[in-house]
Amino acid sequence: MHAHDYASEAKDIFVLPDAVFQIKRLIDDHAASMEEISNIINFDPALTVQILKIANSALYKFPNQVDSISKATQIIGTNSVYDLVVAFGVRRAFEEVATTVIDLERFWENAVFCGLLNKYFAERLLGKNTERLFVAGLLHNVGELIMVRFNPQIAKKCAQINEAQTPLSLQLNHIGSTYADIGASLIKMWGIPDSISTPIKHQHYEQSESANIEDKIMQLSYIMALDHCNPEIYSGHANLEVELYETLGLDNDDLQAALTHTGMQSLSVLAMFSPASVSVL
């Protein structure tokens, strides 16, 4: 099976909440009012809880408690709220994936760390669209969850990373394509904007020449998260090419600042996505 085939199969099994499509439709029609979007979310109690949690988390640091979806939408913005709805919707779609094939705790730790690094660098280098890149980082490896569902034996083989073999090399060897290709294809089939699926598709520096700064941020965040979340395998910045951060005008001190900042946020954000959290969607 090719990446597109895996994504096509997954589309019929992993289903997003209706709220994702309803809000997307309003935004595409340029008819989205804050009240309408808030009403859609409020009809989904579990989604409401998660959006309020993240609005009150270390991600935002609002001075006052955000106690309603309408307030969250007003403060964060309609597009950013939609991005967060996508993130929690995808998390819900994959919550039944078997935990015996891969380490899901490690999976979500890596996903959250990549998302937070994306957000940090986006705030510093772009100053906007940080939620889109947060969500792209969070979802960068959903292709692995698809493989767990359809070919668990290959998923196990691709998870056997070591000093000499990265996830990318194992995926190319055992699949012939990458989890990035599979995940980006599914996200695009779901109708989620290209601004989220494209950085996912281009996350591998070795394969894709970055077309813009967002792709470069994703490539840097992906490698930093990989090394950070697997310290027993990759010491320091084992897989990091200097060009990845120098082309963004960053140096080693900037990377350390990003890791420190992200580390302080990661535990509270991970609790919202980790399967160990009893309050996950």
Q: Which of 103, 115, 114, 228 is nearest to 158 (CA)?
A: 103
Predicted pLDDT of residue 91: 87
- Residue numbers of the domain that contains 68: 3-273
Q: What is the DSSP letter of 238?
A: T
Greater model confidence, 132 or 211: 132
Predicted pLDDT of residue 129: 67
Tens-digit pLDDT profile for residues 61-104: 788 888 999 998 888 888 888 998 999 899 888 887 867 888 88
Compute the mean pLDDT over every residue in the chain, rounded to the nearest whole number.
89
In a domain, 23, yes or no: yes
Mean pLDDT of 37-64: 87
Residues 174, 161: Cα–Cα separation, whole Å: 13
In a domain, 280, yes or no: no
Q: What is the CATH number of the domain that holds 180?
A: 1.10.3210.10
pLDDT band at 228 (very low <50, low <70, confident <90, very high): very high
* pTM exceeds 0.95 for this model: no
Mean pLDDT of 106-119: 94
Least confident of 35-49, 91-105, 173-187: 91-105
Predicted pLDDT of residue 278: 37
Taking the CB of residue 106, how many other CB atoms lie within 10 A of it?
A: 12
Mean pLDDT of 130-156: 94
In a domain, 213, yes or no: yes
In a domain, 38, yes or no: yes
Asked if residues 258 and 224 have their Cβ atoms less than 8 Å apart, the reply is yes
The number of distinct structural domains making up the chain is: 1
Say whether pLDDT at 20 is over 60: yes
In a domain, 278, yes or no: no
Asked if residues 41 and 69 have their Cβ atoms less than 8 Å apart, the reply is yes
pLDDT band at 276 (very low <50, low <70, confident <90, very high): low
Mean pLDDT of 12-39: 87
Mean pLDDT of 170-187: 96
Predicted pLDDT of residue 275: 57
Show contacts of 98-105: CB within 8 Å, 24+ apart.
98/148, 98/149, 98/152, 99/275, 101/148, 101/152, 101/155, 101/156, 101/159, 102/144, 102/148, 102/155, 102/156, 102/159, 103/159, 104/274, 104/275, 105/274, 105/275, 105/276
User: ∠ CA 106-170-230 to the nearest 5 degrees?
Assistant: 30
Say whether pLDDT at 186 is over 90: yes
In a domain, 279, yes or no: no
Mean pLDDT of 28-38: 83
Mean pLDDT of 163-183: 96
Q: What is the DSSP letter of 241?
A: -
In a domain, 62, yes or no: yes
Residues 144, 107: Cα–Cα separation, whole Å: 9
